[in-house]
Structure 1
């Protein structure tokens, strides 16, 4: 485990990205888009799709349209979406360590929110199918804000809805786009990269980068010793 600066204080709330951070959905959507492009005869470098990670649907549509034309992009995205929905309904696996981390935060009474670039109906379906929805106090999506990440809107909304000042929020993100959104919101991001490794430009942002959710949890655990566990409550 690489050396990462300790957190300065216990966060008042932790805000989670969803895709690629909690759910192994980045692989699922990239695979669906690659298959859709292949079916439509669009020759696209397999690694090109990685550049869409963390961006809104509209940004993805614009970038693909610029590459292969708007009509072809619409067809590929529609087919890719259908393939992805089928994969999501079959069940998208958790990223390692997410349940353990959420249980630890709940035990110590740390509020938890989701801030995702996914539209609300699909985000709720995915969280419910993954048995994670009930673990969060607030879910904020790109449907709820005017500007997607890297604008800070969805993170600021999550902070307002959870009732915590942005400066006291810890953000867990996998993508550079999400990290920039969290920094713009004045929050403390910890990046847990998935498919997209941080380049020099991302590292220059100066935030903490860890190799797993277990490593992120290790940053929190020393601070949680000052906050007693909450009484155990069963799921209702």
Structure 2
């Protein structure tokens, strides 16, 4: 696939891919439910991973009914998550620094395409100390349709000025994988909380354990590119 299209840019998902934040988000969803007197099983909260906010809201209403205090619930989740993050519980995933250094060395542009809001994205990237390492950041506030639609990835490629087929996407969620492929961007899956399924293995270019594995896969391809 990459013989015809050398890799000219990399587009990253954020939560669960660059940042070890999905566990915190899930814990905050459970805590917000407890605060409002609703039991929110982890399995239900996990089902919302990588899902656009409007669909998450619909899932909650479908499960807990139209009387569920939706706005209060997601506001409480934001407060719980912010407290966890501000108390030092947010960290980058293994291999992030190594991969960004590799891209720096080869002068390869990179972007983020995330389902998080601009506010949360900017705050989390700054706390993680990697906010200045991307040429473009596309959040759910910047597109009309989030993942699994192609819009976030197409917007990121457009901002970088690179054809989608010449980009490489890195994702951990099912909807993220679907969004990248809908944009005609080859994608590698690095699973976080969600295990790879047959669909994901068929859709993704590769499934690897960590970003260290991406560095190993990418290094010879970039060396050939810059030779």
TM-score, L = length of structure 1: 0.89
The count of residues paired between Structure 1 and Structure 2 equals: 224
The Cα offsets for residues 116-163 of structure 1, whole Å up to 9 and x where unpaired, read as 011112211111111111110111111111100000001000101100
RMSD: 1.7
Give the aligned partner of residue 25 of structure 2.
Answer: 29
Structure 2, unpaired ranges of 5+: none
The Cα offsets for residues 8-66 of structure 1, whole Å up to 9 and x where unpaired, read as 46410000000000000000100111111123222233212111111122211111121
The Cα offsets for residues 197-223 of structure 1, whole Å up to 9 and x where unpaired, read as 122333333531111111111110111
Provide the C-alpha distance between the structure 1 equivalents of 2:2 and 2:96, rounded to a whole number of angstroms: 19
Give the aligned partner of residue 232 of structure 1.
Answer: none
Give the aligned partner of residue 11 of structure 1.
Answer: 7
- Which piece of structure 1 moves more, 53-62 or 11-20? 53-62
Give every structure 1 segment of 4 or more consecutive aligned residues whose post-TM-superposition deviation is greater than 6 Å: none
Provide the C-alpha distance between the structure 1 equivalents of 2:86 and 2:53, rounded to a whole number of angstroms: 19
> Contact between 2:52 and 2:115, CA under 8 Å: does it hold in 1?
yes
- Which piece of structure 1 moves more, 51-60 or 150-159? 51-60
Structure 1, unpaired ranges of 5+: 1-5, 230-236
Provide the C-alpha distance between the structure 1 equivalents of 2:97 and 2:64, rounded to a whole number of angstroms: 40
Provide the C-alpha distance between the structure 2 equivalents of 1:14 and 1:68, rounded to a whole number of angstroms: 39
Provide the C-alpha distance between the structure 1 equivalents of 2:6 and 2:219, rounded to a whole number of angstroms: 9
Following superposition of structure 1 onto structure 2, how do residues 1-236 of structure 1 map, counting pairs within 5 Å? 8=3, 10-70=6-66, 71-91=68-88, 92-228=90-226
What secondary structure sits across from 2:111 in the alignment?
strand
TM-score, L = length of structure 2: 0.93
